[in-house]
């Protein structure tokens, strides 16, 4: 039974006003030497659905980012909603009226947050109270079919569901201008159709809303009311789809776009011709490339592939189509031996597929969607490397590489780097790399995504040649329906099952559909048990928006309340992400205690149980008594005596002993006569400070022994003119632990919070969610304070744990004011987390930020802050830096409270530098954070 054709567009809405919603004049944009936009002049009428069409790299995303205010304008004027978007004041004013959905599946989402939490976060950012957030979230998720998945993490959604959630997040504040950058790239046709049905319903409910969309799918661009065709940063033409097709004399938009390209680009272009596949030997077992029978894959209780069966002929172009997450990739991995099947059987060229058989894998070539090329190697070097990786005989490598360069027309670019090549040429290189070892099976994962129609046709001509001339079996996954129509056969999958496997024309005829896309969507809807999409008027409406107008400026108390709400929203989200990251969570909760034990017991200046040996050349009772005097001390442990100088040298080299004493001949005689006595002491000087301590202890014991000998012989203790009687306060035993523990606490309070906070901003840069800072009302100060607060609280929690461990485990009591120590810890935590934010702001990767934070805190604290040597003993820059560095003052506060029983009155001078440092460090981090991408 034939299905009703799916709606191909929406009613054209009249312009809301004569004034354009967007106006660009002489706009230019460069990235280094690359020209992204060149002298763009464009006006977009309000209330329209406008599409930007063209392949990747032509400037669509750059143009949309400029309009959204996410990217700084380099040249020209960009007016949005009646003002210059380059001016910060206007940008802040119109930001709540713009919604921007960046390119990439869920790029503006937070993967560890659930659907509900993502929407709650965006609702808080735009100032909705709890009741209003609940109403909007329920209505949006019911309208998009996400309501049953409110508790599911965003990272575990399919591609289509991610895009729906991203759209819900963008629409939660009723924008007047909706900007969508390739929102359906990588999304299956059913999810794509549902997405555009949702947009249609929203526009029906809010006719004054303007929508600007960038897309690489010409079939969906044909639905838009007005199009802007772009190539190499310039506008080729503007008009309705019908106007563009009429202007070029073509009845398909893709052909019309090719006709709009410059003559030099389209010269010699011809439509792709695919010779029919010879099926005369289709039933011959020797002609079968791949066969699967009841192939099944389970991950725990989840069935990813459910009893899949089919047979693929040699030289056949076989297309895999299906909804996102339906099991296509898993099926491919099982068929090629990359993943062992749970049940069923598969044969590759007549041999059972064995995951451990590397010979089988070498018969397969793979071209990923993301181009698995080495950017630092040239075109020729990439080919040579992959040939060697697949064990091509060394003598054959030059010939294979030369053949690939010639076949794929890469001779002129053999010395170029891949990233310098145009997208179409880079695609040919990736195919050449996959073919250099002459595989019999070629797997292509969305190989033409983002490529212009001419380059896509050229690519298909190469694939047809491989399949028909070389009998290479080609697996291809794609979401382009016009590409699927070129396959010999296609397999439609959903939820791990094959719904249909036949030639594209047979599937269309069997379904009674007008197009392959319509037939495919029909199969998916039947399998999922969902009804076909209805007209916008019959669909459930999204939240009823307020009229389109510029809002009145809020009052000062309202702005303050909204600002505090945005700070709270940011710290709430950061806290959730931190709790759900096991590595960062463990580091935050246990890292300080572990390092405190390591450093508290490991960093010790105590010299005890020092191993020493004696080279006794006197061999008298007195010389043995001298040796026993040292051995009886807690500082020294005697080792077997030394016989020769060679033995002395060998034992010190092997670190068997650290101190060697040489007692000369006549030692007892000289002592008895009262003559000066000299003992040779050989000390391991590899650690100078420890060596000096050893010498001090040895000299002290030596003098004590001489005094005892004098008293035993004469009954008189020799006295000098001046004697010094030392008395140690605060640490009478002069042990390292009471000194090190109060110093380790500030050191860890500096290093760990800084390293954890260093990931806060740069992580969002890497994931792409930093775009939410650029296009939401959140200010830099609100963003940074919201990021900082969870780490300050964590730092104070760790401070409490370390103080508890100091008292109970290390036995170092707090003798002074704990309130003073806590106040210092609060200020110091603000400083340390501020340093982490500063590191996160000026770096672009998490590794660099961690390294920056660790080096920027640990080295200054050890070298200049008085951890080992007092700041007062330093001179020049070291002295100046040490007195300005916050850790110097926190060391003084911690040691004063732990060891000297000091209070706030005694230590108030140490607080003022930290009070000054807090706004300086945080202010520097805020100033260096950009509110726009440059």
Whether residue 144 has pLDDT greater than 50: yes
Name the band, by pLDDT with cuts 50, 70 and 90, for residue 703.
confident
Whether residue 367 has pLDDT greater than 60: yes
Number of H helices, E strands in the chain: 33, 24
Whether residue 548 has pLDDT greater than 60: no
Q: How far is CA 828 from CA 201, 837, 888, in A?
A: 53, 14, 11
Q: What CA dihedral angle connects 636, 641, 644 and 645, to 10 degrees?
A: 0
For residue 190, what are the contacts with CB-CB under 8 A and spacing of at least 6? 160, 323, 520, 521, 524, 525, 528
CA-nearest of 768, 65, 102, 58 to 423 is 58
> CA 244, CA 235: separation in Å to the nearest integer?
13
Question: What's the whole-number mean pLDDT along residues 627-637?
Answer: 83
Give pLDDT tens digits for 294-337: 899 888 888 888 888 888 888 889 888 877 677 777 887 787 77
> CA 749, CA 617: separation in Å to the nearest integer?
54
Where does 349-435 show beta strands of DSSP type E? 351-352, 364-367
Question: What's the whole-number mean pLDDT along residues 386-405?
Answer: 89
Question: What's the whole-number mean pLDDT along residues 808-825?
Answer: 92
Which H helix or E strand runs over 787? Answer: helix 780-808
> CA 401, CA 206: separation in Å to the nearest integer?
58
Question: What's the whole-number mean pLDDT along residues 503-523?
Answer: 88
Domains annotated on the chain, with CATH? 28-266 (3.40.50.300), 375-437 (no CATH), 571-599+735-928 (no CATH), 610-714 (3.40.1710.10)
Sign of CA dihedral 299, 304, 306, 311: negative
Residues in a beta bridge with 78: 24
> CA 171, CA 573: separation in Å to the nearest integer?
19
Pairing outcome for strands 20-31 and 75-80: antiparallel
Higher local confidence (pLDDT), 483 or 153: 153
pLDDT of residue 688: 76
Question: What's the whole-number mean pLDDT along residues 730-750?
Answer: 80
Which H helix or E strand runs over 919? Answer: helix 904-928
Name the band, by pLDDT with cuts 50, 70 and 90, for residue 923.
very high
Contact 776, 95 (CB under 8 A): yes
Whether residue 357 has pLDDT greater than 80: no
CA-nearest of 855, 796, 842, 843 to 822 is 796
> CA 739, CA 850: separation in Å to the nearest integer?
29
> CA 571, CA 579: separation in Å to the nearest integer?
12
Whether residue 76 has pLDDT greater than 60: yes
CA-nearest of 506, 461, 505, 462 to 485 is 505
Indicate the DSSP class of residue 575: H
Mark out the alpha helices in 495-620 (DSSP H runs): 504-511, 516-528, 556-579, 582-602
Question: What's the whole-number mean pLDDT along residues 760-783?
Answer: 90
Q: Which of 268-277, 554-563, 827-836 has the highest mean pLDDT?
A: 827-836
Which H helix or E strand runs over 101? Answer: strand 98-101
Sign of CA dihedral 575, 579, 581, 585: positive
Q: What is the mean pLDDT of the chain?
A: 83
Whether residue 106 has pLDDT greater than 70: yes
Angle subtended at Cα 539 by Cα 115 and Cα 9, rounded to the nearest 5 degrees: 100
For residue 219, what are the contacts with CB-CB under 8 A and spacing of at least 6? 253, 481, 482, 517
What secondary structure does DSSP assign to 869-890, as a single string? S-GGG--HHHHHHHHHSHHHHH
* Neighbour-count burial for 758-779, b at 16+ CB within 10 Å, e otherwise: bbbbbbbbebebbbbbbbbbbb
Higher local confidence (pLDDT), 108 or 452: 108
Residue 667: CB atoms within 10 A of its CB come to 20
Whether residue 46 has pLDDT greater than 80: yes
Q: What CA dihedral angle connects 488, 494, 497 and 502, to 10 degrees?
A: -20
195 φ, ψ (degrees, to nearest 5): -60, -50
Give pLDDT tens digits for 552-586: 666 778 888 889 999 999 999 999 998 888 888 78
Sign of CA dihedral 232, 236, 239, 244: negative
Whether residue 803 has pLDDT greater than 80: yes
Give pLDDT tens digits for 149-183: 899 998 888 777 888 888 889 888 888 999 998 88
The 8 Å CB, 24+ separation contacts for 497-502 are: 497/306, 497/307, 497/308, 497/527, 498/308, 498/309, 498/310, 499/523, 499/524, 499/527, 501/310
Radius of gyration of the chain (CA): 38
> CA 663, CA 627: separation in Å to the nearest integer?
9
For residue 50, give the 3-state DSSP assignment. strand
Pairing outcome for strands 497-502 and 489-494: antiparallel
For residue 902, give the 3-state DSSP assignment. coil
- This prediction has a pTM of 0.78
Q: Which of 43-57, 172-186, 784-798 has the highest mean pLDDT?
A: 784-798
């Amino acid at each position: 039974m034939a299905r009703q054709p799916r709606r191909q567009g929406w009613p054209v809405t009249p312009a809301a006003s004569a004034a354009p919603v967007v106006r660009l004049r002489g706009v230019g944009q460069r990235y280094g030497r690359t020209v992204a936009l060149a002298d763009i002049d464009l006006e977009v009428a309000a209330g329209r659905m406008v599409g930007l069409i063209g392949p990747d790299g032509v400037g669509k995303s750059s143009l949309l980012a400029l309009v959204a205010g996410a990217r700084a304008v380099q040249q020209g004027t960009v007016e949005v909603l009646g003002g210059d978007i380059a001016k910060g004041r206007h940008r802040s004013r119109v930001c709540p009226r713009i919604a921007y959905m960046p390119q990439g599946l869920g790029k503006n989402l937070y993967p560890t947050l659930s659907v509900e939490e993502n929407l709650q976060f965006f609702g808080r950012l735009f100032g909705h109270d709890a009741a209003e957030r609940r109403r909007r979230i329920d209505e949006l998720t019911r309208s998009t079919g996400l309501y049953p998945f409110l508790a599911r993490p965003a990272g575990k959604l399919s591609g289509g569901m991610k895009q729906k959630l991203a759209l819900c997040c963008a629409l939660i504040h009723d924008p007047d201008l909706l900007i969508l950058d390739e929102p359906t790239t990588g999304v299956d046709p059913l999810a794509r159709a549902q997405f555009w049905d949702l947009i249609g319903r929203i526009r029906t409910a809010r006719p004054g809303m303007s929508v600007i969309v960038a897309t690489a799918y010409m079939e969906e661009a044909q639905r838009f009311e007005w199009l802007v065709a772009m190539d190499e940063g310039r506008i080729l033409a503007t008009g309705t789809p019908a106007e563009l097709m009429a202007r070029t004399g073509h009845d398909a938009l893709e052909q019309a776009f090719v006709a709009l390209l410059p003559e030099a680009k389209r010269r010699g272009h011809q439509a792709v011709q695919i010779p029919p596949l010879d099926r005369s030997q289709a039933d011959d077992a020797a002609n079968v490339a791949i066969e699967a029978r009841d192939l099944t894959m389970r991950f725990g209780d989840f069935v990813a592939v459910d009893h899949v069966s089919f047979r693929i002929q040699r030289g056949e172009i076989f297309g895999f189509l299906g909804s996102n997450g339906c099991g296509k990739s898993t099926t491919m991995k099982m068929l090629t031996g990359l993943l062992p099947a749970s049940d069923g059987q598969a044969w590759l060229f007549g041999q059972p597929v064995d995951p451990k058989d590397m010979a089988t894998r070498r018969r397969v070539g793979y071209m990923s969607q993301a181009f698995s090329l080495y950017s630092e190697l040239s075109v020729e070097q990439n080919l040579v490397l992959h040939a060697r990786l697949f064990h091509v005989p060394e003598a054959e490598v030059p010939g294979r590489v030369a053949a690939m360069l010639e076949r794929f027309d890469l001779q002129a670019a053999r010395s170029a780097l891949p990233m310098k090549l145009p997208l179409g040429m880079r695609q040919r290189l990736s195919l050449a790399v996959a073919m250099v070892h002459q595989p019999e099976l070629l797997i292509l994962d969305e190989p033409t995504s983002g490529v212009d129609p001419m380059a896509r046709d050229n690519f298909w001509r190469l694939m047809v040649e491989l399949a028909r001339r070389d009998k290479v079996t080609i697996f291809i996954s794609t979401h382009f329906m016009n590409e699927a129509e070129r396959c010999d056969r296609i397999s439609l999958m959903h939820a791990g099952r094959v719904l249909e496997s036949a030639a594209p024309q047979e599937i269309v005829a069997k379904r009674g559909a007008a197009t392959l896309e319509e037939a495919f969507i029909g199969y998916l809807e039947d399998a999922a048990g969902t009804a076909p999409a209805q007209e916008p008027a019959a669909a459930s409406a999204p939240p009823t928006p307020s009229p389109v107008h510029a809002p009145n400026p809020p009052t000062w108390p309202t702005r303050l309340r909204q600002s505090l709400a945005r700070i709270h929203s940011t710290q709430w989200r950061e806290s959730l992400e931190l709790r759900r990251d096991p590595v960062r969570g463990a580091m935050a909760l246990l890292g300080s205690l572990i390092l405190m034990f390591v450093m508290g017991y490991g960093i010790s200046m105590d010299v005890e149980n020092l191993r020493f040996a004696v080279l006794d050349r006197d061999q008298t009772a007195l010389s043995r008594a001298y040796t026993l005097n040292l051995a009886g001390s807690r500082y020294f442990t005697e080792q077997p005596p030394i016989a020769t100088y060679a033995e002395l040298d060998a034992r010190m080299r092997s670190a068997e002993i650290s101190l060697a004493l040489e007692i000369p001949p006549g030692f007892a005689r000289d002592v008895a006569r009262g003559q000066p006595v000299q003992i040779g002491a050989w000390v391991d000087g590899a650690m100078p400070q420890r060596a000096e301590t050893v010498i001090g202890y040895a000299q002290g014991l030596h003098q004590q022994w001489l005094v005892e000998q004098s008293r035993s012989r004469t009954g008189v203790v020799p006295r000098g003119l001046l004697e010094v009687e030392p008395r140690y306060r605060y640490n009478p035993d002069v042990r390292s632990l009471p000194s090190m523990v109060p110093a380790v606490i500030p050191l860890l309070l500096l290093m760990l919070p800084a390293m954890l906070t260093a990931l806060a901003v740069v992580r969002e840069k890497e994931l792409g969610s930093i775009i939410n800072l650029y296009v939401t009302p959140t200010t830099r100060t609100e963003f940074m304070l919201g990021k900082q607060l969870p780490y300050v609280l964590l730092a104070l929690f760790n401070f409490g744990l370390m103080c508890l461990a100091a008292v109970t485990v290390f036995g170092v009591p707090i003798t002074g004011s704990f309130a003073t120590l806590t106040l210092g810890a609060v200020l110091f935590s603000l400083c340390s987390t501020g340093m982490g934010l500063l590191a996160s702001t000026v770096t672009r990767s998490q590794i660099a930020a961690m390294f920056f934070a660790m080096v920027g805190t640990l080295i200054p604290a050890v070298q200049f802050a008085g951890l080992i040597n007092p700041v007062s003993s330093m001179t020049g820059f070291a002295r100046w830096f040490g007195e300005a560095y916050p850790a110097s003052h926190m060391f003084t506060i911690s040691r004063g409270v732990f060891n000297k029983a000091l209070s706030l009155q005694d230590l108030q001078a140490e607080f003022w530098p930290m009070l000054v440092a807090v706004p300086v460090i945080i202010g520097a981090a805020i100033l260096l954070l950009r509110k726009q991408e440059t």
